[in-house]
């Protein structure tokens, strides 16, 4: 039966191996008690950066899934199953936030400056006007597949530019948090337009 032990240090308290995740020891399989301030990056054993190696990140997620999943912890023991369910739920949450680049950037930004996304909600009148035009065009294009395809490509390009600027490592050296947050909000708006365009008429 795997013991539940405190992750106070960077070494596993049960087997002494170096810890890669705050959730579990990958060497001996011990479920760990997480520190209260554990981040999703620490949970997945990843550096806190927007420039992640996607393949390596997924590898970590899958290794941790095997260590934590209730299928391997429990059987008839309800308490162990419950702990494994809770720990895997946290892991899955961390993965769903970090595996998507824009949500990963938003999460990193909030770590650096808590509340900045909420404080930067007010977008520039120029962008809002442009977004409104795009929405109207999207509505009009709903009946015209060719126009929709052209519009989709344009909006996608706008979104791609913003995502690239947010993901650029340079943007995070002495970052301008407000500006990054604004760009991420604009990206959200553009993605909503894209989603509406994706719907069949």
Is residue 1 part of the contact set for another protein (CB under 8 A)? yes
Quickly list H helices, 113-176: 116-119, 125-141, 145-167
Please select the residue that binds another protein; options are 19, 23, 30, 166, rule is CB under 8 A: 30
Q: Among the candidate windows 62-70, 105-113, 115-123, 142-150, which touches another protein by CB under 8 A?
A: 62-70
The residues pairing with 31 across neighbouring beta strands, listed in sequence order, are 4, 24
Q: Which two tokens stand for residue 126?
A: 């120029």
Is residue 194 part of the contact set for another protein (CB under 8 A)? no
Q: Which two tokens stand for residue 172?
A: 């995070």
- Per DSSP, the three-state class of 64 is helix
Residue 6 · residue 33 · CB < 8 Å: yes
Please select the residue that binds another protein; options are 13, 74, 101, 175, rule is CB under 8 A: 74
Which of the 8 DSSP states describes residue 4? E
Count the residues of the shown chain that bind another protein, applying the rule CB under 8 A.
35
CB-wise, 58 or 130, nearer to another protein?
58
Q: Among the candidate windows 4-12, 77-85, 138-146, 162-170, which touches another protein by CB under 8 A?
A: 77-85
**Tokens 């500006």, residue located:** 179
Is residue 35 part of the contact set for another protein (CB under 8 A)? no
Rounded CA-CA distance 43/64 in Å is: 9
Contacting residues toward another protein, per CB under 8 A: 1-2, 24, 26-30, 58-59, 62-63, 65-67, 69-77, 80-81, 85-86, 88-90, 92-93, 95-96
């Amino acid at each position: 039966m795997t013991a539940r032990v405190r992750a106070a240090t960077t070494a596993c308290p049960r087997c002494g191996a170096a810890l890669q995740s705050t959730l579990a020891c990958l060497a001996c399989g011990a479920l760990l008690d997480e520190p209260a301030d554990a981040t999703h990056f620490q949970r997945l054993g990843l550096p806190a950066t927007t420039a992640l190696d996607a393949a390596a990140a997924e590898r970590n997620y899958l290794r941790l899934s095997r260590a934590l999943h209730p299928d391997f912890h429990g059987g008839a023991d309800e308490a162990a199953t419950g702990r494994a369910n809770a720990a895997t739920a946290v892991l899955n949450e961390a993965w769903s936030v970090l595996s998507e680049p824009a949500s990963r950037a938003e999460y990193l930004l909030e770590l650096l400056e808590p509340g900045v996304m909420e404080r930067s909600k007010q977008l520039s009148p120029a962008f809002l006007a442009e977004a409104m035009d795009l929405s109207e065009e999207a509505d009009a294009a709903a009946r015209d597949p060719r126009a929709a395809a052209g519009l989709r490509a344009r909006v996608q390009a706008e979104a791609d530019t913003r995502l690239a600027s947010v993901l650029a490592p340079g943007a995070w050296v002495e970052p301008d948090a407000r500006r990054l947050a604004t760009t991420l909000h604009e990206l959200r708006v553009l993605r909503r337009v894209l989603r509406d365009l994706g719907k069949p008429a």
